[in-house]
C-alpha cells in the first residue's frame, strides 16, 4: 500500500540573535518623580436621607456627580451670611 501523506519536516529553529540584540540595548534610567505638594487632611461628614431624596440628588447631579453636587450645595449654604434670627 502506498503512503498517501509525506512526512512533514520540522521547521528550522528560530534564531536567537534577535533576542540577544534586544538584550544588549542600554537600560533607560527612570525619570525622577515630581514631588507632590502635601494635601490638606480630609475628614468624613455623613448624614442619613430617604431613598426618594437620594434619587432626587442623583437625578439633579447627573451620573457619577452626586457627591460633588451635595458637597458644593452644603458648602454654599454654610458660607451664606445669615442675618435673620
Instruction: Examine the pLDDT at 4 and tell me if it is beyond 70.
Output: no
Question: Quick count: other Cβ atoms within 10 Å of Cβ 65?
Answer: 13
The burial of 67, by beta-carbon neighbours within 10 Å (0-12 exposed, 13-18 middle, 19 or more buried), is given as: exposed
Do the domain assignments include residue 36?
no
Do the domain assignments include residue 17?
no
pTM over 0.85: no
Do the domain assignments include residue 71?
yes
State pLDDT tens for residues 38-81: 899 999 999 999 999 999 999 999 989 999 999 999 999 999 87
Domain of 71, in residue numbers: 51-80
Cell representation of residue 58: 442623583
Instruction: Examine the pLDDT at 2 and tell me if it is beyond 70.
Output: no
- The number of distinct structural domains making up the chain is 1
Do the domain assignments include residue 62?
yes
Do the domain assignments include residue 63?
yes
Sign of CA dihedral 44, 48, 54, 57: negative
The whole-number pLDDT of residue 59 equals 95
The whole-number pLDDT of residue 16 equals 62
Q: Which of 51, 81, 50, 56 is nearest to 69 (CA)?
A: 56
Do the domain assignments include residue 40?
no
State pLDDT tens for residues 7-40: 767 777 776 655 555 556 677 888 888 888 889 9
Do the domain assignments include residue 57?
yes
Amino acid at each position: 500500500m502506498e503512503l498517501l501523506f509525506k512526512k512533514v519536516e520540522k521547521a528550522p529553529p528560530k534564531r536567537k540573535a534577535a533576542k540577544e540584540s534586544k538584550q544588549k540595548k542600554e537600560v533607560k534610567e527612570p525619570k525622577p518623580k515630581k514631588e507632590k505638594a502635601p494635601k490638606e487632611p480630609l475628614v468624613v461628614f455623613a448624614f442619613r436621607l430617604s431613598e426618594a431624596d437620594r434619587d432626587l440628588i442623583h437625578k439633579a447631579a447627573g451620573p457619577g456627580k452626586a457627591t460633588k453636587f451635595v458637597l458644593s450645595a452644603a458648602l454654599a449654604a454654610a458660607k451664606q451670611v445669615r442675618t435673620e434670627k
